[in-house]
Structure 1
Amino acid sequence: MPAPTQPRSLLGRMLANTAWLLGGKGFGAVCSLVYLAILARSLGLKDFGHFSLIFGSAQALVALSGLQTWRVVVRYGAGHVHAGNWAAFGRLSMLSALLDLGSALLGVVVAWLIYFQFSDALDLNPKYLVAAFWFTVASLFALVSTPTGIVRALDRFDLGVYVEALVPTLRLVAAVAIWLVDPKVVYFLAAWAAIDLIEAAGYWMLSRRLCPESVSLRHLKDWRLATDDNPGIVRFSLVAFASSTLDAAVKQGPLLAVGYLVGTRAAGLYRLAAQLSQGLGKLSVLLTRAAYAEINRARVSAEHAEFRRLVRQTSLIAAAAGAVVVVLAVVLGEPLLDLIGGSDFDAGYAVLVPLTFAASLELASVAFEPVLHSTGHARYALFGRLAGFVVLAGAIGWLAGSATAVTVAIAVAVGGVATYVALGALAWYVMARLPAYSPAAPAAGEAP
């Protein structure tokens, strides 16, 4: 499976990988708008709210139990791939796979406790408890973190696009079929769960085909050696897990807060606006994936000046793209909401604008976390996200007495500003103090 010809410059390679991702996600965005419209219109505002809360709860549990192993594989695997040390890369990959399996099993236990032991205390709808539990179980075991990291560490974003295109394609087909037969929340949940499992299988088959020397069960017996191959991996994994937990709380917490404080209908309204804002800000996700891999590769293969230039160029491009995203939301947000959900969702425009502003800040900050991780300062990224979460939680708590979907969205925007400022300040603090650097070796005195 020969790799496509890549540009020589670091920025060129990163933009090429982003283009591959954008091509796949552009196709996925069109599909998602259609199946989202089918969901919203066929289920109605209240049932769409139920679907949204179940989906959001499952995503929150996945993120809370997941260890962000793709970051671990890219962070440490980039050096092994650069050196051609496939045995070490295999041990790292299999250790990550074991961590994914363990986190999924732990997540199942937590889900069982939440859905069946504390459902009354949390005021969960008994009609959907069983469906919500099994949907969450499927989502936990459909986690593709490790194989995603393998594909990105190997710089094969082009092939990952095809696997990820399975999800929007199959969701669109399933949504149309369910809409024509009998649109019910449970049917949509079952279809979404099955499709996520298909994607997981596809990613593992792709990573195996790309690197059979590393993606092999024979490396499982040597997983303990991965800690010797990769100094600091335990601490980095814990920090990455804590950061992803905060990120999940920021992304899924407001939706659950709207459902709890305001109601199911408001949650449906918030979910559609959030989905559309994420669609408009999808570039942030794509650029983050490409930037994270390229910045980590640059840290082990490029001169210090070139590394700094890549970070600076990435930040400028991301900031400009963030401004465009906000303009698109202001101009196109209202007609898009009406087109997708109908008149019941018109009030979502006031929710969409602040959420898109928060998404634009996330886009503008795409280089900050990769810089902190690749230079051995992952804990700084955790501190930055913690600052944003504290501001967000404080804003929601302050508004709790008069909470609406709009006020929660404004709180998200305020938290986004705090996260951007904190991560940006920490990233540039680290960049200004990086010592002279020679490729393929950590800088002297740098934290592992």
Structure 2
Amino acid sequence: MEDVAQSGTKPRSLMARMLANVGWLVGGKAFGAICSLLYLAILTRSLGLKDFGHFALIFGTSQALIAIAGFQTWRTVVRFGVKHIHEGDWSGFGRLSMMAFLLDVLGAVIGCVIAYIAFYEFATELDLNPRLVDTAFWFNVAALWALVSAPTGIVRALDRFDIAVYVEALVPAGRLIAAAVIAVTGPDLVLFLIAWAAIDLLEAAVYWIVARWLCPQAIQFKFLPRAFEARHENPGLVKFFGITYISATLEAIFKHGPLLAVGYFVGTSAAGVYRLAHQLAQGLSKLSGLLSRAAYAQISRARVSADLTEFRKLASQTTRLAAVGGALVVIAVVTFGGHLLALLGGEDFRAGYAILIPLVLVSSIELASVAFEPVLHSTGHARLSLLARFVTVLTAAVGTSLLVNTYAEHGIAWSLVIGAAVGYLVMGLLAVVTLRKIQSGETTQTAL
């Protein structure tokens, strides 16, 4: 696991290693983005505004449940696993990985219970067609059991983003093929949902096979009985896990809650328009997710293996790169956003342009802050990122309550911008203060 350049023995800089990972992810996500735009166009034009609204609500609920019940164990595997890998402690890494697997299973079970309550008790509030309730529930069950959080963390901790690209390409490619076949043979909402569920389950199986292949000495069933010993072998793990779980839940509420709010306050058709605008905003802002994945793993690794100067340099360079990327995304969407929505879904969806602009601003703000959370997590200050997430969600919720009755879905979208901006300022300030405290502490130790 030595980080050496391909052409020699000189170690690559931290930024070069992160950009290499981003390069792999960009290649995979560019392919995925093209596939996503194509199958979205097929979906919207095949199903129409109303049925696509139902699809959006069902799929959006599954994404919210995955985020809430999934525990985001990959963060724990990366945060504590890189140290085991650096030291060659494969037994410790194996117990940590198997603990994450068991937590994923627990999360899936809890998520199924929540899904049952959501769809069988609140389907009317979500304006969901009664004939789709059973399908929606089982789709969410499949999505929950297709969680790949633990194996994703294993692959990222091992710094094998190249392999992850190929595995994750299965989903967009599979969805595009399935969408084309269903559209030709007879468009049907239920068939689309069945295909999406089957493809997600396939990806989960392949991810575990790959994790086992990359690290057979750690990914073994023999570590299951002693998996929870990882709590004692990794000081601070329980606290970190709890904080990151709550933080991820708040993030899920911020990302997926607005879609459900649109369905509740405005209606299914509006939810369809919102979903397409949101999907396009996310698709055009994929760089945020790419940098986040690479930055989280590389910054965690840097805190273990690099000095403070290099660590600070990596965080600063990542922030500047992300800010430029965010600005370019906003310019592109302002220029071409309305045409893209009409091209994908037809003229009925062009109205989503007014929603697309604030949603892209949110994605760009998140992109600009991509290095803040990894810095706080890797330095043992995860609770500060949780505070920032709470402020973000609270601000957005207050904004929604004030604007939704007057501006409907547009008010919800602009409330997210306000929340994201406030959260950016808070988390950025906390990250800067944390780095200065660390520098001051290490300088004092050196002087002594």
TM bucket normalised to smaller: over 0.9
User: Alpha-carbon deviation of 1:415?
Assistant: 1.2
User: Alpha-carbon deviation of 1:30?
Assistant: 0.5
Equivalent residue for 2:353? 349
Equivalent residue for 2:89? 85
Of 54, 62, 69 in structure 2, the residue corresponding to residue 50 of structure 1 is 54
Distance 2:228 2:204 in 1: 25
User: Alignment partner of 1:221: what SS?
Assistant: coil
Kept in 2: contact 1:326–1:356 (CA 8 A): yes
Name the TM-score, length of structure 2 as normaliser.
0.95
Alignment of 1:352-391 (within 5 A): 352-391=356-395
Equivalent residue for 1:11? 15
Alignment of 1:8-47 (within 5 A): 8-47=12-51
Two-structure CA RMSD over aligned residues (Å): 1.8
Of 112, 131, 145 in structure 2, the residue corresponding to residue 141 of structure 1 is 145
Distance 1:360 1:43 in 2: 30
Aligned length: 440
User: Alignment partner of 2:218: what SS?
Assistant: coil
Matched, 1:335 2:339: yes
Q: 1:31 to 1:418 in 2, by over 3 A?
A: same
Q: Deviations over 1:138-182 (max 9, x none)?
A: 010000000000000000000000000000000000000110112
User: Alpha-carbon deviation of 1:204?
Assistant: 0.3
Equivalent residue for 2:305? 301
Matched, 1:100 2:104: yes
User: Alpha-carbon deviation of 1:436?
Assistant: 6.8
Matched, 1:282 2:286: yes
| Unaligned residue ranges in structure 2 (runs of 5+) | none
Of 127, 131, 134 in structure 1, the residue corresponding to residue 131 of structure 2 is 127
Q: Structure 2: which amino acid aligns with 1:336?
A: L
Q: Structure 2: which amino acid aligns with 1:259?
A: G
Q: Structure 1: which amino acid aligns with 2:315?
A: V
Q: Structure 2: which amino acid aligns with 1:422?
A: V
Of 245, 251, 258 in structure 1, the residue corresponding to residue 262 of structure 2 is 258
| Unaligned residue ranges in structure 1 (runs of 5+) | none
Deviates more, 1:415-424 or 1:404-413: 404-413
User: Alignment partner of 1:433: what SS?
Assistant: helix
Of 270, 277, 282 in structure 2, the residue corresponding to residue 273 of structure 1 is 277
Deviates more, 1:398-407 or 1:197-206: 398-407
Q: Structure 2: which amino acid aligns with 1:80?
A: H
Q: 1:373 to 1:218 in 2, by over 3 A?
A: same
Matched, 1:185 2:189: yes
Kept in 2: contact 1:387–1:418 (CA 8 A): yes
Kept in 1: contact 2:93–2:218 (CA 8 A): yes
Kept in 1: contact 2:96–2:228 (CA 8 A): no
Equivalent residue for 1:158? 162
Name the TM-score, length of structure 1 as normaliser.
0.95
User: Alpha-carbon deviation of 1:114?
Assistant: 2.0
Of 389, 396, 400 in structure 2, the residue corresponding to residue 392 of structure 1 is 396
User: Alignment partner of 2:224: what SS?
Assistant: helix
Alignment of 1:209-288 (within 5 A): 209-288=213-292
Distance 1:224 1:193 in 2: 30
Distance 1:391 1:116 in 2: 31
User: Alpha-carbon deviation of 1:3?
Assistant: 9.4
Q: 1:418 to 1:125 in 2, by over 3 A?
A: same
Distance 2:115 2:269 in 1: 24
Q: Deviations over 1:385-444 (max 9, x none)?
A: 100100100111112322422221111111111111111111111011114788xxxx99
Equivalent residue for 1:64? 68
Q: 1:3 to 1:421 in 2, by over 3 A?
A: closer
